[in-house]
Chain A
Amino acid sequence: MSVADNAKIQSNPKFHALVKRRNALGWILSIIECIMYFGFTLMIAFAPDVLTAPIASDSVIPFGMILGVGIIVVSCVLTGIYVYQANNTFDPIVHEIIEEASK
C-alpha cells in the first residue's frame, strides 16, 4: 500500500470541502436533536400544560407522550440519515482524496 502524502491532502481543496460538508451535516443534525430535546425539556420546565393536554377529548393519552416517543424515533432516523450520507457520499470522497495523495 502506498503511503498518502499528508501535505498533498492539506493542499487539496477537496479535503477542506469534505471537512466543511461533513461538519455542516454533523452540526445541523446536532442542532435539530438539541432543539427537539431542549424544546421538550423547556416545555417540561415552562409549559407542562401543553405536554399533558390529551391528544383527543376522549383520550387519556397526553400530547407529551406522543412527543417523547416521537423524539426517540426521530433520533434514530437522524442517526440513520447521517450514516447513510457518510457511507454513500463522504466515504467515496475520502477514498478519492487518499488516492490522489498516494500517487
Chain B
Amino acid sequence: MKQLKAAFSALLSSAVLFAARTGSAMTVDSGPAAPAPAAPPPVNWHAISMFVIFVGITLVITYWAAKHTKSATDFYAAGRGVTGLQNGMAIAGDYMSAASFLGIAALVYMNGFYGLIFSVGWLVGWPIILFTVAERLRNLGKYTYADVVSFRLKQGPVRTMAAIGALIVVVWYLIGQLVGAGQLLHTLVPQISYRISITIVGILIMLYVTLGGMKATTWVQIIKAGLLLGGATIMALGVMFHEGFSFAKLFSDAVALHPKHLAIMKSVVPIGAKANPIESISLGLTLMFGTAGLPHILMRFFTVTDSKAARKSVLYGTCFIGYFYILTFIIGFGAIVLVANNPQYVVDVTKNILALKGGLNMPAVYLAHAVGGDFFLGFIAAVAFATILAVVSGLTMAGASALSHDLYAQVFKKGQATEKDEVMVSKISCIGFGILSILLGIAFEKQNVAYIVALTFSIAACTNFPILALSIFWKGLTTRGAVVGGYVGIFGSIILLLIGPTVWTKILKMGPAIFPLDFPTIVILPLVLIVAYVVSVTDSSESAKQERAAFDAQKLRAETGIGAEKAAVH
C-alpha cells in the first residue's frame, strides 16, 4: 500500500509538474556528470538565436503596448479590446504550460496510455467554465474574479479571502514554473547556469508586465500559443510521416519497442503502481474544477470586448487546447519509437533504453531533434522557453492585480484610491513579483516541489471556483458564508496536503501520512459547499438580508450585460 502511494505520487508529480521532476532528476544527473573531464558541451546556437529572436519580438510588442497603455483598464484588461479569437489563443497560451507539453509527453513516453488521463482531465474544465461562469464573469467583473465574488457582498472580508486564495495559487504556481524554467534553460544551454536562467526570466517578466501590462501579456501569450501549436503540429506530423500516417503502426511499433511492451496499453495508473480508486476520483475533481478556479485564467475574461467575445474565446481556447493535448499524446508515443533506445539521447542503452540524458522531461525535446535535427531542436527549446515566459507573465499579472486592485484599492483604501495610484501599486507589485520570483526560484532550486500542482489546483478547485459559482448562482450566499467557506477551502486544502503522502511522508519524512490522499479535493470541495451553505442560511443579520436582496440586480447584470464594463475607446 505504501509502495503504491509512493509510486503513484512520484509519477503523478513527475507528470503534473515537470519542474519538480526535472529538478530532482537533473540534480541527480548533473551531480556526478559535472566533474567529468569530458569536453564541454557545444553551445546550442540554434536555441540561443531563437530565444533572442523571440525575446526581441516580445520586447518590441512590450514597447508598443506600453505606448498604448494609459488607463487602469488598459493595464489590467488590455483596454477590453481583445477579440474572441485573440483571447482564445491567449487562453491557450496562458494555460498550456511547459508542464503539459513536456510533462504529458514524458508521461506517455514512460507509461503509455496513462498519460491520456491527464490530457483529458486538463481539458474538461473548459466546457464547465463556458457553461457556468465565462459570460457572467465578463458582465459582472472589472479586473479580477474577486470583483465578481464581492459584487453584492462586503468588499473588505470577501476580497481579502479571494485575494489570499488567488495569491497562494499564483505564488506557488510561479515557483513551479520558475524552477522548471531554470532547469530547462540550463539543460538546453548548459553554458547558462540555473541562477542566470531564473534571473533572465524574472527580468523579462518585470519588463513585459510592468511596462506593457495586460496588452503585452496577451500578445506574448498569443505568439507563444502559435509557436507551441505550430511546433507540436510539425513534431506530430514528423512522427506520423515516419509511421506512414498509420496510428495502428505507431501504436504497435511503440508496444514492440517499449521495454514494458503491451503494459503501456494496459495500465490506468503509472506502470507498476496499484490503482487507488478514491485518489483517481479526487484527482479528476481537482483537474476539472481547479482549471475553472485559476485566477490568471479567470482574469482573461475581463480583456474581451463583451460577453459574446468571452464565450467565443472559450470555444477557440478549448479547441486549441484539446488539439494540443491530442498532439502531446502522439508526441509521447512517437518518442517511444524514435527517441528510446537511441544512443544519441539515452544515457546507457545497455542498461535502460528509456532513461534519457538530461532527465525525465526530455522526450519531447529529443523527439524534435529526431524529426527535425539541430535547427528544430533549437526551435522547440525556444518554444518551451516562450511557454514559460507566457505563463509566468499571466501569473504575475493576476498576482499584481490581486494585490493592487483587491487588497490595496478596495480593502486598504476602501475603494477611494485613484486610478493612477492603483496602477502604480500594481506596477510596483509586478516588480516585487519579479524579484520574488528570482529569489524563490533560486531558493527552491534543490527543493522537492512535487506538491505544488496538488496545492495550486486543490485551492483553486476547493475555494476559488465553488465560491465564485455560489456567488453567481445562489441568492442565499452571504458574506459570512463566502468568507468562512473560502477559508475552509484554503486552509483545509493546505492542512490536508501537509499531512498527506507527498509532503508529510516524502518531504518532511514524518512517517506514514495522516491523510491518505495526495489530492484533498474529494473531501474539501463538499465540505466547502456545506460550510458555505450552512453559514449562509443561518445568517439572519440585516446585512445578509440586503445581500440576498441585491441578488436580483446582480442577476440582471450577469444575464444581460447591462452595466457591464465597456471596452475602452482609443
Contacts and interface: CB of A to CB of B under 8 A. Distances in A.
Given A33-B127, A82-B131, A52 B288 contact: no
Interface in B516-559: 552-553, 555-556, 559
Contacts of B123: 71-72, 75
Given A4-B562, A72-B326, A79 B120 contact: no
Interface in B240-256: 247-248, 251-252, 255
A9 B556 CA distance: 8
A99 to B, nearest CB: 11
Given A4-B562, A18-B559, A83-B312, A61 B251 contact: yes
A44 B268 contact: yes
Given A41-B281, A45-B280, A72-B322, A80 B116 contact: no
Contacts, number: 147
A25 B262 CA distance: 42
Nearest to B559: A19
B124 A71 contact: yes
A79 B284 contact: no
A43 to B, nearest CB: 8
A8 B308 CA distance: 24
B385 interface: no
B266 A37 contact: no
Contacts of A60: 251-252, 255, 262, 265
A79 B314 contact: yes
A9 B560 contact: yes
Report whether over half of chain A's contact residues are helix, strand or loop; otherwise say mixed: helix
A46 B280 CA distance: 10
A72 B561 CA distance: 30
Interface residues of A, number: 52
B86 to A, nearest CB: 16
A68 B277 contact: no
A6 B113 contact: no
Given A10-B552, A61-B265, A79-B314, A41 B559 contact: no
A27 B113 contact: no
Contacts of A30: 127-128, 131-132
B83 interface: no
Interface string A1-32: 00010100110000100110010011101100
A62 B120 contact: no
Interface in B251-292: 251-252, 255, 262, 265-268, 275, 277-278, 280-281, 283-284, 288
Nearest to B284: A41
A18 B319 CA distance: 27
A25 B275 CA distance: 36
Nearest to B254: A60
B514 interface: no
Contacts of A29: 127, 131
A62 B113 contact: yes
B326 to A, nearest CB: 6
A103 B247 CA distance: 61
17 contacts: A10-B556, A15-B556, A25-B131, A37-B124, A41-B283, A41-B284, A45-B277, A59-B251, A61-B247, A65-B265, A69-B326, A72-B119, A72-B322, A75-B123, A75-B127, A78-B127, A82-B130
Interface of B: 113, 116-117, 119-121, 123-124, 126-128, 130-132, 135, 247-248, 251-252, 255, 262, 265-268, 275, 277-278, 280-281, 283-284, 288, 308, 311-312, 314-315, 318-319, 322, 325-326, 329, 552-553, 555-556, 559-562
